[in-house]
Amino acid sequence: DTAVSQTPKYLVTQMGNDKSIKCEQNLGHDTMYWYKQDSKKFLKIMFSYNNKELIINETVPNRFSPKSPDKAHLNLHINSLELGDSAVYFCASSQDGTRLYNEQFFGPGTRLTVL
Amino acid sequence: GNSVTQMEGPVTLSEEAFLTINCTYTATGYPSLFWYVQYPGEGLQLLLKATKADDKGSNKGFEATYRKETTSFHLEKGSVQVSDSAVYFCALRRGTALIFGKGTTLSVSS
């Protein structure tokens, strides 16, 4: 059973397009996250949701909008894609985001390439 | 602010060699510390963690000790295997999010 799943695994698209990446977790966790990993493998938090409410929104362009229809899903919608958006996007979840030692479980990643 | 600094890679070792990957952090208070591993083409997996000073996290032969006095959390393994080849990330918790170091690529040859 896949704990945190993401679709699609690969996404190749043209500049200016709008695209979405979906994430689902079947662990019953309360908190979900989106991270971005750039070409140098540097990972940075983008968003965090706890029970469908946004609790972290780092300095991410407004073109990125997370949507959480329920506790088990956190989708990432990106408008007007730019070359610099090319990266690997990881979804993650944890049992209770407020507990500092709780492990975050990561999805397999979505490699986005903007041409 | 909060940050994590890891040694630059890549680290190239022969099988059964001793591994150390240095990690130091800057943070207010006493954050929880983590090591994550990313195997080629996969997502991140938690390798080990420590939640307070002098705690030692260990897993799969890897160890790291939370050193408050040196603000460090160095990763060690006595005898690496080819299957340990991966990217290793040191991280600390800030609020609900993880702050990662830049990752260290380990390559082990037989």
- pLDDT tens-digit profile of A45-78? 998 888 778 877 777 889 999 999 998 999 999 9
B91/chain A closest Cα distance in angstroms: 10
3-state DSSP helix/strand/coil % of chain A, to nearest 5: 5, 55, 45
- For an interface test with B, the pick among A47, A100, A102 (most B C-beta atoms closer than 10 Å) comes out as A100
- Residues of chain B positioned with their CB less than 8 A from the CB of A5: none
- pLDDT tens-digit profile of B13-30? 999 999 999 999 999 888
Residue with more model confidence, B54 or A95: B54
In this structure, of A102-106, A107-111, B11-15, the range with the lowest mean pLDDT score is: A102-106
User: Of B37, B42, B40, which is closest to residue B62 (Cα–Cα)?
Assistant: B37
User: How high is the pLDDT of residue B69?
Assistant: 93
- pLDDT tens-digit profile of B69-91? 999 999 999 999 999 999 999 99
- Residues of chain A positioned with their CB less than 8 A from the CB of B98: 35, 43, 45, 104
Q: How confident is the model at residue A100 (pLDDT cuts 50, 70, 90)?
A: low
- Residues of chain A positioned with their CB less than 8 A from the CB of B47: none
| Lookup: tokens for B25 | 């952090």
Separation of alpha carbons B86 and B37, rounded Å: 7
In sequence order, the 6+-apart residues with CB closer than 8 A to the CB of A29 are A71, A93, A94, A95, A105
